[in-house]
Amino acid sequence: MGYLSGFNVVMDAINGHQWQQSGNFPRVTFCDIEVREMGIVHKWTLQCVLMDG
């Protein structure tokens, strides 16, 4: 993306481009979840895929 990524995001917003088509945002991120198992809460950070539908 480089140093122009912020400019590209603003220009896409001005031109009405949706983030799903712009390519400016990651499709993969990290998600924090909590899983309760037998009274114990386990905290996990997982890699998540962002769906566009």
Domain interval for residue 15: 4-49
Residues written for the chain: 53
Q: Which parts of the chain are beta strand (E)?
A: 28-37, 40-49
- Into how many domains does the chain fold? 1
Q: CA-CA distance, 35 to 2, in Å (whole number)?
A: 37
Using the predicted structure, report yes or no on whether residue 3 has a pLDDT greater than 80. Answer: no
d(CA 50, CA 19): 12
How much is the pTM? Answer: 0.44
Cα 51 from Cα 26, distance rounded (Å): 11
3-19 average pLDDT score: 79
Mean pLDDT of the chain: 81
